[in-house]
């Protein structure tokens, strides 16, 4: 016969010995409070820290550099040429030898040229250069000799390469590509916001589902306690205790599974948030603060379709792509023309034994030169240019087909998004009715169980059906909120929903 008083003493001693450990563990667990998190805050953190968005921002900056490069094609170029040379050679002429009475000739030259070259916005270019030279030579009459020559030269295409649209076409294409990159960035923003929102609402569902499972476990434990009391009083058969204990065991599993689902969803949300300060192990729990709506919202399909085709970034992307392709066709067709350029130059010149004498001649304008003419070149066959035209037209056709396919896809997504909203709201209504009926059924079951008219197994079934109904209702509500956000995405209004109005050239919110 066991000595119960001594066993009690041992158990109490064990409890007193290890109670500080359990208190410390509980205090350590309590030191990590949950982190409240609204949906807007989660979206803001994700957009700030998301790696994919950082990559896309760099793509935008690359397009900015392409625009800067094309603009640089029209920057003026300042050129400077400074040279000096000296030549000493043997005389090969009897006349030269007779004059200088030596067979060795010397010549020295210094030359400085400063100019400015600039490309015209409508094609062609001009160059303004001032050249200054000094030379001294053995047989030179004026020694040293100073020469100066300001010259203006120009080239203007009249066929191939003529016109602002052709000359500045690459710059316009680069600017449009920058706008396309910004539009792609908006699409990526909306995709990330949708992903964050879905996980956020899933976390809300998992937390609410845990409450349902805990309530179900509590009801089973209360039934077990009640059955034990009744068996002691002889009002129930002992098997009813086993039935209730089995019910408690199955409910414990539901709680454990629900807790795991919360942790898994929190980890997924943390990965999307990419919080730099969060600890790798044992991070604080995330506590969503949003309250899901279950209010019916009315939408008109035709208005939604019009909004989607107007606001979706993909439509703007295709329109800009078509403009680029059309401009590429015109540039390629211009290359079919022969090269027919007007060229010319005009300048003054002066020469003298000093720098001042040289300048006097230049200022007088008596000494000048000019030149004008045309240059014509025509590639025989011109197959490369024709191939470029054919390729540009094929690319335009592809872009037009891509746009048509995108319009069809957006139309399908909008219709499906609207149907999803309506279906999820109807799910809320039907699951709410099912939950109310399950509550009434359980209430009636409790009354009958108190009178001993139903078994514990039946009562556990009523509790399970109520928990399932509550879980389906919560799932329908969270799915409805996810469907509303998805509808904003498919109609292109998701950024406005979170007050992300525009995207700058660097891809940053403002």
Which of the four pLDDT bands, split at 50, 70 and 90, describes residue 364? confident
Domains recognised in the chain with CATH numbers: 37-64+172-324+393-497 (1.20.1600.10), 79-120+124-160+339-377 (no CATH)
Strand pairing partners for 131?
Answer: 113, 149
Exposed e or buried b for every residue in 48-60, given b needs 16+ CB within 10 A?
eebeebeebbeeb
Least confident of 20-34, 80-94, 127-141, 156-170: 20-34
Asked whether 397 and 312 are in contact (CB, 8 A), the reply is no
Which of the four pLDDT bands, split at 50, 70 and 90, describes residue 49? confident
DSSP 330-343: HHHHHTTS-EEEEE
The reported pLDDT for the residue numbered 222 is: 86
Asked whether 105 and 85 are in contact (CB, 8 A), the reply is no
CA 253 – CA 193 distance, rounded (Å): 34
CA 33 – CA 95 distance, rounded (Å): 108
Residue 137: count other Cβ atoms within 10 Å of its Cβ. Answer: 15
CA 222 – CA 253 distance, rounded (Å): 17
DSSP 389-452: HHHHHHHHHHHHHHHHHHHHHHHHHHHHHHHHHHHHHHHHHHHHHHHHHHHHHHHHHHHHHHTT
The residue count for the chain: 510
The reported pLDDT for the residue numbered 207 is: 95
Percentage with pLDDT > 70 across the chain: 87
pTM of the model as a whole: 0.78
The reported pLDDT for the residue numbered 250 is: 87
CA-CA-CA-CA dihedral for 120, 124, 128, 131, to nearest 10: 150
CA 117 – CA 223 distance, rounded (Å): 95
Cis peptide before 144 (omega within 30 of 0): yes
Residues 6+ apart with CB under 8 A from 383: none
pLDDT digits (tens, 9 = 90+) for 195-251: 999 999 999 999 999 999 999 999 888 888 887 887 888 777 888 888 888 888 888
CA 283 – CA 263 distance, rounded (Å): 10
pLDDT digits (tens, 9 = 90+) for 279-299: 667 788 999 999 999 999 999
Residue 357: count other Cβ atoms within 10 Å of its Cβ. Answer: 14
Least Cα distance to 106 among 145, 140, 147 occurs for 140
Q: What backbone torsions phi and psi does residue 365 show, to the nearest 5 degrees?
A: 75, 10
Which of the four pLDDT bands, split at 50, 70 and 90, describes residue 121? confident
The reported pLDDT for the residue numbered 279 is: 63
- At which residue do the structure tokens 């010549």 appear? 107
């Amino acid at each position: 016969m066991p000595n119960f008083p001594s066993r009690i003493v041992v158990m109490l001693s064990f409890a007193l010995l290890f109670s500080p450990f359990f208190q410390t563990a509980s205090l350590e667990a309590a030191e990590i409070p949950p982190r409240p998190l609204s949906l807007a805050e989660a979206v803001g953190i994700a957009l700030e820290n998301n790696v994919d968005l950082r990559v896309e921002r760099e793509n935008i900056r690359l397009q900015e550099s392409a625009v800067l490069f094309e603009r640089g094609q029209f920057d003026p170029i300042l050129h400077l040429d400074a040279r000096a040379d000296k030549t000493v050679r043997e005389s090969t002429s009897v006349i030269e030898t007779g004059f200088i009475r030596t067979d060795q000739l010397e010549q020295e030259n210094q030359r400085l040229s400063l100019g400015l070259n600039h490309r015209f916005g409508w094609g062609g270019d001009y160059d303004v250069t001032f050249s200054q030279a000094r030379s001294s030579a053995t047989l030179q009459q004026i020694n040293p000799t100073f020469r100066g020559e300001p010259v203006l030269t120009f080239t203007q295409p009249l066929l191939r390469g003529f016109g602002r649209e052709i000359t500045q076409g690459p710059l316009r294409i680069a600017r449009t590509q920058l706008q396309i990159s910004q539009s792609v960035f908006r699409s990526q923003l909306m995709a990330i916001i949708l992903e964050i929102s879905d996980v956020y609402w899933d976390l809300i569902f998992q937390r609410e589902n845990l409450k349902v499972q805990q309530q179900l476990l509590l009801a089973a434990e209360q039934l077990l306690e009640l059955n034990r009391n009744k068996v002691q009083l002889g009002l129930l058969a002992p098997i009813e205790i086993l039935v209730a204990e089995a019910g408690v065991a199955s409910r414990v599993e539901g709680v454990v599974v629900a807790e795991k689902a919360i942790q898994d969803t929190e980890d997924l949300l943390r990965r999307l948030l990419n919080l730099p300060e969060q600890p790798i192990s044992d991070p604080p729990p995330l506590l969503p603060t949003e309250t899901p709506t279950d209010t019916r919202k009315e939408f008109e399909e035709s208005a939604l379709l019009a909004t989607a085709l107007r606001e979706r970034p993909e439509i703007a992307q295709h329109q800009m792509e078509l403009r680029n392709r059309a401009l590429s066709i015109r540039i390629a067709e211009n290359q079919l023309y022969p090269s027919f350029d007007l060229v010319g130059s005009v300048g003054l010149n002066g020469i003298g034994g000093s720098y001042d004498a040289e300048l006097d001649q230049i200022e007088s304008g008596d000494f000048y030169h000019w030149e004008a003419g045309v240059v014509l070149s025509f590639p025989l066959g011109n197959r490369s240019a024709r191939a470029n035209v054919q390729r540009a037209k094929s690319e335009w056709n592809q872009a037009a087909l891509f746009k048509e396919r995108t319009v069809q896809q957006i139309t399908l997504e909008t219709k499906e998004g609207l149907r999803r909203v309506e279906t999820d709201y109807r799910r809320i209504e039907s699951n709410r009715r099912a939950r109310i009926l399950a509550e009434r059924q359980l209430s009636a079951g409790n009354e009958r169980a108190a009178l001993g008219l139903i078994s514990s197994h039946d009562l556990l079934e009523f509790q399970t059906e109520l928990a399932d109904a509550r879980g389906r209702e919560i799932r329908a509500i969270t799915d409805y909120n996810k469907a509303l956000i998805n509808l904003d995405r498919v109609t292109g209004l998701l950024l406005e929903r979170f007050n992300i109005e525009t995207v700058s050239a660097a891809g940053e919110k403002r």
